[in-house]
Amino acid sequence: MRKLIALTFAALAATTVVAQENPAALRTPDGTPDLQGIWSNATITPLERLQNVTSLVLSDEEAARMERATLERRERLNQPSDPDRPAPPKGGDGSTGAAGNVGGYNDFWLDRGDRVAVVDGQRRSSLIIDPPNGRIPPLTDEARARQQARLKLAAGRGQYDHPEYRPLAERCLLSFGPTTPLVPNYFYNNNIQIVQTPDHVMILMEMVHDARIIRMNATHVPKHIRPWMGDSIGRWEGDTLVVDTTNFPPQQNFRGSSENLHVVERFRRVDANTINYRFTVDDPTTFTAPFSGEIPFWALDEQIFEYACHEGNYALSNVLSGARNEEKRLGTKQEKQ
């Protein structure tokens, strides 16, 4: 693995030199910067800066330590399982989610990224760069009240009562993790394909085959039309692609945002292997201030495959019918008593 990374870096260095010698190669025939290709935004740099870290920029040693720790953790998790290990505790270990209870994906299936985010030559401690503390601004009172109401509603009902109560990703409606802005999911499959014409830019997320088609120099659709991932329009500001997204559906939120969420994304091709992606999130009904982040997209020399989520979604039926069986079993027990 380490050898592979070393090789990748060597390849990166080599192609970067070529690109600098021939910058025309990074432009489309109509002269705009060429953003096309297969990319990944996976990184070990967290979205929000950890409480005990003060600087946006990590020293080389700090960055190397983070990357080494990631590799060591992976090597540890990739050790063969002990064939004599006991069964998980009856009723699960109490944790929630796919990896909790009786176990879910092991590390083999995950692809959380193994590199610190590097932007403009700086190794970053957080993806968020504004506000300067690298953290999402506090929620407004209105958003806090909304959150409380949501929690109260959720507490008063069984989370397996209806398919609509399950997370969007479990229902195969959207991928795990945010789609707009393109923040990594820190889970697996952060692969993106970009295709660009003078009139449209298409961003495909491999996960759940979600293609966001950005209409260039267009206006937003009417307010009552609320497509998944919002409505995206784009324009070129010099060599930067600026994408403006509004009209989010109320069910899709980013960190507690409302349907007033407004995302502005800026794509800048910086070299043969990198897009510098910058996003600004604004929702005055949710956040006390707008916030911005920067994420490098790395060129991937890999294919994108079909992610047919819904077609193989046995889990949702099983989760719901399992809950019904459990109720029946508990009901029968109570009758006996």
Binding positions for another protein, rule: CB under 8 A: 28-29, 34, 36-37, 158, 160-164, 171-173, 193, 195-197, 199-200, 202, 204, 209-211, 213, 215, 218, 221, 227-228, 303-306, 308, 310-311, 316-317, 320-321, 323-324, 327
Minimum CB–partner distance for residue 183 and another protein (Å): 21
CA distance 41 to 113: 8
Q: Residue 192 in contact with residue 40, Cβ under 8 Å?
A: yes
Task: Closer to another protein by CB, 118 or 218: give it.
Answer: 218
Minimum CB–partner distance for residue 171 and another protein (Å): 7
Instruction: Please provide residue 35's backbone torsions phi and psi, each rounded to the nearest 5 degrees.
Output: -100, 5
Minimum CB–partner distance for residue 320 and another protein (Å): 4
Minimum CB–partner distance for residue 43 and another protein (Å): 25
Minimum CB–partner distance for residue 306 and another protein (Å): 4
Task: Closer to another protein by CB, 106 or 251: give it.
Answer: 251
CA distance 37 to 20: 18
Task: Closer to another protein by CB, 34 or 244: give it.
Answer: 34
Task: Closer to another protein by CB, 101 or 193: give it.
Answer: 193
Return the sign of the alpha-carbon dihedral for residues 164, 165, 171, 176.
positive
Peptide bond into 131 cis (omega under 30): yes
Minimum CB–partner distance for residue 194 and another protein (Å): 9
Task: Closer to another protein by CB, 107 or 210: give it.
Answer: 210
Minimum CB–partner distance for residue 130 and another protein (Å): 32
Minimum CB–partner distance for residue 243 and another protein (Å): 15
Task: Closer to another protein by CB, 235 or 324: give it.
Answer: 324
DSSP readout, 305-331? ----TGGG-HHHHHHHHHHHHHHHHHH
Characterise 8 by phi-psi region: left (phi > 0), alpha (psi -120 to 50), beta (else).
alpha
CA distance 213 to 199: 10
Buried b (16+ CB within 10 A) or exposed e, 36-70: ebbbbbbbbbbbbbeeeeeebebeeeebeebbeeb
Greatest Cα-to-Cα distance within the chain, rounded to the nearest angstrom: 81
Task: Closer to another protein by CB, 72 or 161: give it.
Answer: 161
Closest among 241, 324, 311 to 276, alpha carbons compared? 241
The amino acid occupying position 127 is L
Buried b (16+ CB within 10 A) or exposed e, 228-247: bbbbbbbeeeeeebebbbbb
Task: Closer to another protein by CB, 14 or 308: give it.
Answer: 308
